[in-house]
Amino acid sequence: MKESKFQAELIVELKQRFKGAIVLKNDPNYIQGMLDLTILYKDRWAALEVKASADAPRRPNQDYYVNLMDDMSFAAFICPENKDSVIDGLQRTFSPHRSSRVSQRQ
């Protein structure tokens, strides 16, 4: 499957799974290596770098931005082979955390 087709289908799936999410396609010419997608959902966010396959080459700085943004919130490389596990990670990231609910009550 071509990366563009996978990305288009992924965007539709993300919007269906996370109702109300804003999925932004980032400009690849603005910052070298910036990830393909930014997902804004409620009070959380994530970033994904879309690849056509697990062995697709990575461009300069992509590993750097995946690691940096994953430390901030959630970021990952996503391809057809790991899509389900990455979406599971997104689900955990976008789910309310117990500590957040406790602090809101105080």
What CATH number is given to the structural domain containing 65? 3.40.1350.10
Domain membership of residue 66 as a residue range: 3-105
Contacts of 18 (CB under 8 A, 6+ apart): 39, 41, 90, 94
Measured at the CA of 54, the angle between CA 42 and CA 80, to 5 degrees, comes to 55
Total count of domains within the chain: 1
Q: Is the pTM of this model over 0.75?
A: yes
- Give pLDDT, residue 28: 87
State whether the Cα torsion 82-70-40-33 is positive or negative. Answer: negative
> pLDDT per residue over 30-71, tens digit each?
999 999 999 999 999 999 999 999 999 999 999 999 999 999
- Give pLDDT, residue 50: 98
Whether residue 102 is predicted with pLDDT greater than 50 in this model: the reply is no
Distance CA 73, CA 93 (A): 8
